[in-house]
């Protein structure tokens, strides 16, 4: 996702609850809540953004503080249910991968997203010790993007076979390259088709 | 809720050291059995490696991905409209729910709202689909435990639902019933009558299933206390849907974060206490009755009006991202969509309930018997098309 | 030679006792053929009855109402490739189905279809039956072990554990019935199958109702144990399809597999005939005490004929309801032919000499058929037990109850 959309467009004085009911073009608004305040007081500039978009709240955190912040979110902010862990690949950026945690709190009936950007080849601390649910989700992220999670008990591919080359959800992964290679090796057809 | 996990996090991890067999108490090596991918009771192409001491399960490891079709990659090369039918192929026994989740997510991203009539039609079809999904679950689950007959009863009655689908949109299984912005098809003449006839037809049939199973001694013995999972473990493992509710958590997205027209209907969320297979069975049976209640209200109050919101021909959401989830028959089905402002989604991530729920298999069967593995796979109600996507 | 053959006709003992090898061979042929046909018929009936329990039609294509399906199956199984796994112990793999088959067919030597209609009458008949039929567990274990594969191995272990456990309760239930045979003037009981039925005849009561409810409980224990003994639902764990794919015969195919099936169904019929002999009065017609006299004898002796005529009638109704399309002509003619054969058999059964000789066999078979129907009914109704529950039922419920029944029967026998 391009960077520019992240900057809040509406006037900063406007409270987020009173956001326009149905704007023609949805926009991000700053997100204020005790949770945000807590993380901001703890990490200061580590909290790069805390915004609301289409009624959904998310943080963008610095990679260095994210693992710790996730634990705080679980232990102190009651985000006890890790809905999903995923990533997006933005090859044009410096830090190519955006890791996304979708969290839910049963007690507060609230759903937030935590995002962080990491560079290609960088690994990230596993959150299996925070939410056991992260086990397969992180394995899938590894399988599809090649992001390694440190401290994961069983970091290996999950959906694709062991010997698969490349990580398909990277933007630079050609869909037919694997197929061509297979055809070349196994059927001996040079063109690969 | 909000309990801390009571267990050591390591106890959630299912990873077998297959090359170093442990010694069992009889000083014999344990048995490693490969169950699946071609096994009659793994509901598709699930492969479970079981480590056994006699009949007792010491550990399991799931090997999945045999049905992986790269749905998320396909999405990046299709327009929003073109991707719509693909989601039906994930959980193919609850295709309508999948479609509803996707359409609503894109609508949310575009900030449009489906008209009320469309929402009512969506609710009716989705709940019918939930019934169909639960019926299929019941039949196969009972078959796994050895009761052959319920399978045929449930399939007979599921047929009536599929007939309604077929009349509505021409397809029975992968329906592609909804479009972004509403519904493409107005209900056919006699739709209401068909649905009403069906909701009068089904309750005695549900009683019939219950008559075969609920008080059947063998059924109770095979399911009570089998595959127990506590509410805290469910939450820790991200398990949702009837499995979570059977463990005593009264949480249903239809109530917690209502979507479509669910906030307008009166229905209960059945919950269980012990979190065992029998409770999950009872919860799903009651859910079927509640679904009928929702359908009855919806079909009686269905408003007139347009069925399609004003949606541009070319769907081009603004730059941004959205996570939207619905209560699919198997649990929380979420779509995370990132738009870069073009006609094709930049990234679509599907949060499949079956995939996440399947993680709990190891915890639920460890220390139990081989026959319980089958019962637990059945009670988790997984669809491999959704696990592998 | 001819004298040797005809001399038996005036005898009123079984050919085995009379020492007449010719007639013994004839009987063996008839019983073997009859059981094989019964197995095929049972195969068809099970599929049809189960289908109707499950709101399906079952086999409909091969012959009218799938009547020729068992024959088609048999041809298919005989011509199928016979696969022996490369890792298997070939000799044991080959031997296992034969052992099961022999064990389940040998027991028919003592099955009393009538007072003289048995191949022979051993004085230890019931012991012989229990002993030989329990040999089939050997075949199961051999099959599971020889396949050299995990699923058959687990299936075989389950099966052997199950058959051995239930044999104990089964044996004790049988003993309590045998105790009842000694309640006569001389106080001597019998282990002979024919003797047991004759004891019921002379005591004028089926052992099912003797010392009510003791006989009934013993019969119940036997009826449960015999289902477990033959590995049928709800005790079909050894071949639990959804758990162990097919249990001990997973690796078998074609002819060898069909031998297992033949053995299984033959064993079902065999244990049902034990139950019929011990508790339900064997070949005796219903109500021999209440409905006595010449007239009732005549009425009951006519039932077999009427039954076959009824079957023929059903077949003819089927003919009438067949679609009148040239495509169905062969089927219609076939069904009519089948009905005609049934009708003919019915008419033959009315002939007095046939009538008198056949009615024992008829009542015996009818009672066995009820049990066979129960087998199908169980299969359609019940889920499957888990292994530990199965063992618990066997050792903690059936065994103590059967011991209790045995002791009580003994006390009652002494007191009355």
Distance CA A30, CA A37 (A): 12
pLDDT at B16: 54
With beta carbons under 8 A apart, name residues in chain A contacting B318. 25-26
DSSP annotation of C261 reads H
Q: What is the DSSP letter of A186?
A: I
Contacts of A103 in chain B (CB under 8 A): none
Query: Which of A176, A185, A117 minimizes the C-alpha distance to A145?
Result: A117
C-alpha span between B365 and B59 (Å, rounded): 8
Same domain, B286 and B365: yes
Closest residue in B to C384 (Cα–Cα): B146
Comparing C-alpha atoms, which of C229, C30, C270, C276 is closest to residue C129?
C270
- Which of chain B's residues have a Cβ under 8 Å away from the Cβ of A154? 13, 15
Please give the tally of structural domains in chain B. Answer: 2
Same domain for B99 and B163: yes
CA B271 to the chain's CA centroid: 17
- Note the pLDDT tens digit of each residue in B118-161: 899 889 999 999 999 999 999 888 888 888 888 899 998 999 89
Nearest neighbour of B39 by CB, restricted to C50, C245, C382? C245
pLDDT above 90 as % of chain C:
1
Q: Nearest CA to C403 among C225, C190, C167, C218?
A: C218
Q: What is the mean pLDDT of residues B298-323?
A: 85
| Residues B46 and B377 sit within 8 Å (Cβ to Cβ) | yes
| Whether residue B312 sits in one domain with residue B288 | yes
Model confidence at A19: pLDDT above 70: no
In chain B, residues 24-43 whose CB comes closer than 8 Å to chain A = none
CB contact burial C385-402 (16+ within 10 A = b; e otherwise): bbbebbbebbeeebbebb
Q: Does the structure show a pLDDT above 80 at A17?
A: no
Looking at per-residue confidence, does A152 or B165 come out higher?
A: B165
CB contact under 8 A, A154 and B15: yes
Domain boundary among B63, B90, B111: B63
pLDDT of residue A20: 39
Judge if B375 and B351 occupy the same domain.
yes
Q: Which range, A86-100, C109-123, C284-298, is most confident?
A: A86-100
Q: Half-sphere exposure of C342 toward its Cβ, with a 13 Å CA cutoff? A: 18
Domain shared by B351 and B279, yes or no: yes
Report the distance separating Cα C281 and Cα B381, nearest Å.
50
C305-328 average pLDDT score: 86
B355 in A contact zone (CB under 8 Å): yes
Q: Which of B75, B235, B340 should be substituted to probe chain A, the one whose Cβ sees the most A Cβ atoms within 10 Å?
A: B235
- Who contacts A68 (Cβ-Cβ below 8 Å, separation ≥6)? none
Q: Which two tokens stand for residue C268?
A: 């079902």
Q: In whole angstroms, what is the distance from residue B176 CA to residue B160 CA?
A: 18
| Banded pLDDT at A12 (limits 50, 70, 90) | very low
- pLDDT computed for residue B26 by the predictor: 52
* DSSP three-state, residue A116: strand
Give the single-character DSSP code of C416: -
Of B292, B64, B254, whose CA–CA distance to B160 is shortest? B292
Task: List the single residue in B142, B152, B371 with the smallest CB-CB distance to C55.
Answer: B152
State how far the Cα of C329 lies from the Cα of C227, in Å rounded to an integer. Answer: 42
| CATH number, domain with residue B192 | 1.10.645.10
B88-99 residue pLDDT tens:
888 888 889 898
Q: Which residue of C has its CA nearest to B374?
A: C243
CB A170 within 8 Å of CB A92 = no
The model's pLDDT over A154-172, given as tens digits with 9 standing for 90+, comes to: 888 888 888 777 888 888 8
Task: For chain A, give the percent of residues with pLDDT over 70.
Answer: 85
Indicate the pairing of strand A123-125 with strand B345-351. Answer: unpaired
Return d(Cα B7, Cα A181) in angstroms, integer.
46
Report the pLDDT averaged over residues C307-311. Answer: 89
Establish if B2 touches chain A: CB-CB under 8 angstroms: yes
Measured between CA atoms, the residue of chain B closest to residue A80 is: B2
Task: In whole angstroms, give the CA distance from residue A6 to residue B338.
Answer: 13
Structural domain boundaries enclosing B157: 72-388
Tell whether B84 lies on the interface with A, counting CB pairs under 8 A.
Answer: no
Do B91 and B32 reside in the same domain of the chain?
no
Rounded alpha-carbon distances, angstroms, from residue B213 to C120, C383, C407: 46, 9, 36
The C-alpha atoms of residue B213 and residue B221 are separated, in whole angstroms, by: 11
Asked if residues A1 and B340 have their Cβ atoms less than 8 Å apart, the reply is yes
Mean pLDDT to the nearest integer, B277-295: 90
Candidates C168, C197, C164, C375; CA nearest to C280 is C197
d(CA B114, CA B180): 8
Minimal-distance CA residue of chain A relative to B257: A109
Shared-domain flag, residues B213 and B95: yes
Note whether B48 and B117 are same-domain residues: no
The answer on B263 and B214 residing in a single domain is yes
Q: Strands of A47-53's sheet, edge to edge?
A: A28-30, A47-53, A56-61, A110-118, A97-105, A81-89
What average pLDDT score do residues B334-348 get?
A: 89
Q: Do A137 and B347 touch (CB under 8 A)?
A: no
Cα gap C233→C377, rounded to integer Å = 9
Identify which of A5, A56, A128 has the shortest CB distance to residue B319.
Answer: A5
What integer best gives the mean pLDDT of chain B? 84
Q: What is the pLDDT of residue B335?
A: 92
CA atoms within 13 A on the CB side of B125: 37
Which chain B residue's Cα is nearest to C152?
B33
Radius of gyration of chain B (CA): 21
Kindly state the tokens that stand for A2: 């391009």
Residues 6+ apart with CB under 8 A from A185: none
ipTM: 0.82
Distance CA B315, CA C125 (A): 84
Q: Which of B39, B152, B369 sits opposite C386 (nearest CB)?
A: B369
Does B28 lie at the interface with C, CB-CB under 8 angstroms?
no
Q: Is B80 left (phi over 0), alpha (psi -120 to 50) or beta?
A: alpha
Q: Is the predicted pLDDT of residue A10 greater than 70, yes or no?
A: no
3-state secondary structure labels for all residues of chain B: CCCCCCCCHHHHCCCCCCCCCCECCCCCECEEEEECCCCCCCCCCCEEEEEEECCEEEEEEEECCCCCCCHHHHHHCCCHHHHHHHHHCCCHHHHHHHHHHHHHHHHHHHCCCCCHHHHHHHHHHHHHHHHHHHHHHHHHHHHHHCCCHHHHHHHHHHHHHHHHHHHHHCCCCCCCCEECCEECCCCCCCHHHHHHHHHHHHHHHHHHHHHHHCCCHHHHHHHCCCCCCCHHHHHHCCCCCHHHHHCCCCCCHHHHCCCCCHHHCCCCCCCCCCCCHHHHHHHHHHHHHHHHHHHHHHHHHCCCCCCECCCCCCCCCCCEEEEEEEEECCEEEEEEEEECCCCCEEEEEEECHHHHHHCCHHHHHCCCEHHHHHHHHHHHCCCHHHHHC
Answer with the one of B34, B63, B92 that is the final residue of a domain: B63
- Residue whose C-alpha is closest to residue B309's, from B185, B181, B119: B181
Residues in Cβ contact with B143 at an 8 Å cutoff, skipping those fewer than 6 apart: B150, B151, C242
Half-sphere exposure of B65 (CA within 13 A, CB side): 15
Structure tokens at C204: 């004028």
* Residues B365-386 as b or e (16 or more Cβ within 10 Å = b): bbebbbbbbbbbbbbbbbbbbb
Residue of C236, C245, C379 lying closest to B40 (CB–CB): C245
Classify residue B133 as left (phi > 0), alpha (psi -120 to 50) or beta: alpha
Instruction: Give me the total of CB pairs closer than 8 Å, taking one residue from chain A and one from chain B.
Output: 131
Measured between CB atoms, does C396 come within 8 Å of chain B?
A: no
Instruction: Confirm or reject contact between B260 and chain A (CB < 8 A).
Output: no
Is the alpha carbon torsion for B361, B367, B370, B371 positive or negative? negative
C-alpha C14/C-alpha C19 separation (Å) is 9
Does B66 lie at the interface with A, CB-CB under 8 angstroms? Answer: no
Nearest CA to B321 out of B334, B303, B339 is that of B339
Q: A39 to chain B, minimum CA–CA distance in Å?
A: 19
Backbone angles phi, psi at A49, to 5 degrees: -150, 150
Q: For chain C, give the mean pLDDT.
A: 83
* Contact present, B121 and B307 (Cβ < 8 Å): yes
Residue C248 and residue C143 in contact, taking contact as beta carbons nearer than 8 Å: yes
- B202 to chain C, any CB pair closer than 8 A? The answer is no
Cβ contacts of B355 on chain A, cutoff 8 Å: 136, 140
Q: Which residues of C touch B219 (CB under 8 A)?
A: 383
Mutate to test the interface with C, among B369, B371, B375 (most CBs of C within 10 A): B371
- What residues does A58 pair with on adjacent strands? A51, A113
Are A159 and B389 a contacting pair at CB < 8 A?
A: yes
Give the pLDDT score at B387.
87
Interatomic CA distance for residues B51 and B46, integer angstroms: 16
Token pair for C118:
């048995």
Q: Which of C257, C230, C262 is nearest to C246 (CA)?
A: C257
Give the model confidence (pLDDT) of A39-85 as tens digits.
788 777 777 787 888 888 888 888 888 888 888 888 888 888 888 89
Confidence of residue C114 (pLDDT cuts 50, 70, 90): confident
Q: Are B375 and B145 in contact (CB under 8 A)?
A: yes
Whether residue B365 sits in one domain with residue B243: yes
Chains meeting C at 3+ CB pairs closer than 8 A? B
> Chain B 274-303, CB below 8 Å of chain A: which residues?
none
Q: Count Cβ atoms below 10 Å from residue C370 Cβ, excluding itself.
A: 12
Residues B6 and B136 in one domain: no
Locate the chain C residue with the closest alpha carbon to B30.
C150
Q: How far apart are CA B111 and CA B181, in angstroms?
A: 10
Q: Is the pLDDT of residue C137 over 70?
A: yes
pLDDT at B13 over 80: no
A171: three-class secondary structure by DSSP: coil
The residues with which B35 forms a beta bridge, in sequence order, are B48
pTM of the model: 0.83
CA distance B340 to chain A (A): 6
pLDDT at B11: 56
Query: What is the pLDDT averaged over residues C252-275?
Result: 86
Contact B272, B126 (CB under 8 A): no
Two tokens at B312?
């541009």
Asked if C54 reaches chain B (Cβ–Cβ under 8 Å), the answer is yes
Contacts of A157 in chain B (CB under 8 A): 65
* CB < 8 Å from B in window 154-183 of A: 154, 157-161, 168-169, 171, 173, 175
**B27 and B158, same structural domain?**
no
Disruptive mutation site among C150, C235, C386 for chain B (greatest number of B CBs within 10 Å): C386
Q: Which DSSP string corresponds to A136-169?
A: HHHHHHHHHH--EEET-TT-S-SSS-TT--S-TT
Q: Do B9 and A53 touch (CB under 8 A)?
A: no
Mutate to test the interface with B, among A52, A60, A125, A133 (most CBs of B within 10 A): A133
């Amino acid at each position: 996702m391009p960077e520019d959309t992240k900057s809040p467009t509406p006037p900063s004085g406007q409270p987020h609850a009173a956001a326009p009911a149905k704007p023609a073009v949805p926009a991000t608004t700053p997100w204020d809540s005790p949770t945000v305040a807590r993380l901001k007081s703890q990490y200061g500039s580590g909290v790069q953004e805390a915004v609301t978009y289409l009624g959904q709240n998310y943080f963008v955190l610095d990679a260095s503080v994210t693992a710790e912040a996730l634990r705080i979110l679980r232990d102190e902010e009651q985000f006890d249910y890790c809905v999903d862990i995923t990533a997006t690949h933005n090859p044009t950026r410096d830090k190519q991968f955006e890791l996304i945690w979708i969290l839910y709190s049963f007690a507060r009936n609230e759903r937030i997203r935590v995002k962080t950007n990491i560079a290609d080849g960088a690994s990230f601390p596993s959150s299996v010790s925070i939410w056991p649910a992260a086990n397969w989700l992180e394995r899938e992220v590894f399988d599809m993007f090649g992001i390694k999670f440190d401290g994961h008990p069983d970091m290996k591919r999950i959906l694709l076979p062991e010997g698969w080359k490349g990580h398909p959800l990277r933007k630079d992964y050609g869909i037919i390259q694997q197929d061509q290679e297979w055809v070349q090796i196994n059927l001996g057809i040079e063109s690969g088709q | 809720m909000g309990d801390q996990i009571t267990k050591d996090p390591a106890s959630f991890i299912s990873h077998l050291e297959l090359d170093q067999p442990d010694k069992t108490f009889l000083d014999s090596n344990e048995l490693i059995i490969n169950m699946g991918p071609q096994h009659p009771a793994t509901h598709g192409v699930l492969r479970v490696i079981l480590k056994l001491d006699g009949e007792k399960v010491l550990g399991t490891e799931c090997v999945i991905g045999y049905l992986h079709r790269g749905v998320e990659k396909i999405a990046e090369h299709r327009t929003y409209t073109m991707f719509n039918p693909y989601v039906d192929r994930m959980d193919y026994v609850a295709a309508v729910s999948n479609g509803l989740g996707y359409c609503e997510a894109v609508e949310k991203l575009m900030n449009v709202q489906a008209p009320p009539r469309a929402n009512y039609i969506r609710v009716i079809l989705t709940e019918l689909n939930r019934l169909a999904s639960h019926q299929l679950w019941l039949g196969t689950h009972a078959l796994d435990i050895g009761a052959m007959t319920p399978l045929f009863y449930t399939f007979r009655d599921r047929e009536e639902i599929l007939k309604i689908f077929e009349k509505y949109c021409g397809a029975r299984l992968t329906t592609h019933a909804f479009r972004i912005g509403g519904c493409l098809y107005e209900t056919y003449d006699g739709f209401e009558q068909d649905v009403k006839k069906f909701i009068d037809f089904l309750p005695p049939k549900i009683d019939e299933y219950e008559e075969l199973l609920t008080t059947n001694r063998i059924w109770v013995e095979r399911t009570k206390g089998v595959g127990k999972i506590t509410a805290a473990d469910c939450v820790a493992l991200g398990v949702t849907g009837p499995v979570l509710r059977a463990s005593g958590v009264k949480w249903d997205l239809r109530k917690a974060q209502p979507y479509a027209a669910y906030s307008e209907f009166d229905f209960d969320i059945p919950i269980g206490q012990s979190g065992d297979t029998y409770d999950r069975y009872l919860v799903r049976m009651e859910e079927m009755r509640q679904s009928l209640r929702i359908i009855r209200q919806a079909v009686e109050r269905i408003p007139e009006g347009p069925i399609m919101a004003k949606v541009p021909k070319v769907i081009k959401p603004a730059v941004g991202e959205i996570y939207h989830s619905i209560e699919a028959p198997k649990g929380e089905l979420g779509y995370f969509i990132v738009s870069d402002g073009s006609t094709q989604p930049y990234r679509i991530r599907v949060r499949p309930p079956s995939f996440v729920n399947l993680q709990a298999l190891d915890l639920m069967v460890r220390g139990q018997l081989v026959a319980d593995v089958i019962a637990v796979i059945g009670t988790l109600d997984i669809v491999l098309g959704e696990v592998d996507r | 030679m001819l004298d040797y053959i005809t001399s038996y006709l005036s005898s009123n003992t079984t050919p085995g006792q009379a020492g007449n090898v010719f007639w013994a061979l004839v009987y063996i042929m008839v019983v073997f053929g009859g059981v094989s046909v019964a197995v095929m018929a049972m195969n068809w009936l099970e599929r049809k009855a189960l289908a109707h329990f499950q709101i399906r039609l079952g086999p409909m294509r091969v012959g009218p109402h799938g009547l020729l399906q068992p024959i088609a199956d048999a041809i298919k199984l005989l011509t199928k490739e016979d696969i022996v796994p490369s890792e298997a112990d070939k000799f044991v793999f080959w031997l296992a189905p034969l052992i099961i088959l022999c064990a389940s067919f040998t027991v028919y030597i003592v099955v009393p279809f009538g007072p003289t209609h048995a191949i022979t009458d051993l004085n230890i008949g019931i012991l012989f039956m229990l002993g030989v039929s329990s040999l089939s567990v050997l075949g199961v274990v051999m099959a599971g072990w020889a396949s050299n594969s995990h699923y058959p191995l687990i299936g075989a272990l389950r099966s052997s554990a199950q058959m051995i456990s239930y044999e104990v309760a089964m044996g004790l239930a049988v003993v309590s019935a045998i105790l009842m045979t000694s309640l006569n003037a001389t106080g001597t009981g019998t282990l002979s199958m024919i003797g047991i039925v004759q004891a019921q005849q002379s005591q004028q009561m089926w052992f099912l109702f003797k010392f009510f409810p003791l006989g009934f409980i013993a019969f119940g224990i036997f009826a449960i144990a015999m289902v477990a003994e033959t590995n049928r639902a709800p005790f079909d764990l050894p071949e639990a399809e959804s758990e162990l794919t097919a249990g001990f015969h997973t690796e078998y195919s074609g002819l060898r597999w069909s031998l297992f099936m033949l053995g299984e169904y033959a064993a079902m019929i065999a244990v049902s005939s034990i139950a019929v002999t011990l508790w339900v009065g064997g070949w005796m017609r219903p109500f021999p005490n209440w409905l006595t006299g010449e007239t009732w004898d005549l009425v009951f002796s006519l039932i077999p004929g009427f039954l076959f005529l009824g079957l023929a009638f059903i077949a003819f109704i089927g003919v009438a309801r067949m679609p009148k399309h040239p495509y169905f002509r062969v089927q219609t003619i076939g069904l009519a032919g089948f009905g005609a054969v049934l009708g003919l058999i019915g008419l033959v059964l009315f002939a007095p000499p046939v009538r008198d000789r056949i009615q024992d066999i008829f009542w015996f078979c009818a009672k066995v058929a009820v049990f066979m129907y129960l087998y199908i009914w169980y299969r359609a109704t019940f889920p499957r037990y888990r292994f530990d529950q199965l063992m618990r039922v066997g050792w903690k419920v059936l065994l103590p109850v059967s011991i209790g029944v045995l002791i009580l029967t003994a006390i009652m026998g002494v007191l009355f």
